């Protein structure tokens, strides 16, 4: 499969991720309408975003500037096996 190269399709893909996330979060909250559920969902989303930032920005900019990750699986391999 070829990488996306056209800006329109890249933006559309990002927008679809946002729409999927909003729909899923809304359905979870409708299924269990409590403030604790909303708080836990918000914290889970925030922490996953921070982990993603850590994996792809902090590691590349501050820990190992010479290594570029291609995805979360590549990042996990890097953490457990070290740099090749």
Q: What is the pLDDT of residues 18-45, one digit of tens each?
A: 999 999 999 999 999 999 999 999 999 9
Q: Does some domain include residue 39?
A: no
The model's pLDDT over 53-73, given as tens digits with 9 standing for 90+, comes to: 988 888 888 888 887 778 888
Considering the domain boundaries, does residue 40 fall inside one?
Answer: no
**Do residue 84 and residue 51 come from a single domain?**
yes
Pair 57, 84 in one domain: yes
Could you give the number of structural domains in the chain? 2
Q: Cα(36)–Cα(42) distance, rounded to whole angstroms? A: 10
pTM: 0.70
Domain that holds residue 5: 1-33
Same domain, 53 and 21: no
Provide the pLDDT for residue 35.
Answer: 93
């Amino acid at each position: 499969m070829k990488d996306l190269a056209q800006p329109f399709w890249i933006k559309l893909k990002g927008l679809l991720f946002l729409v999927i996330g909003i729909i899923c979060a809304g359905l979870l909250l409708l299924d269990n309408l409590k403030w604790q559920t909303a708080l836990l969902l918000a914290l889970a989303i925030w922490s996953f975003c921070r982990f993603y930032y850590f994996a792809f920005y902090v590691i590349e900019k501050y820990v190992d500037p010479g290594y570029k990750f291609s995805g979360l699986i590549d990042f996990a391999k890097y953490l457990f096996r070290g740099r090749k």
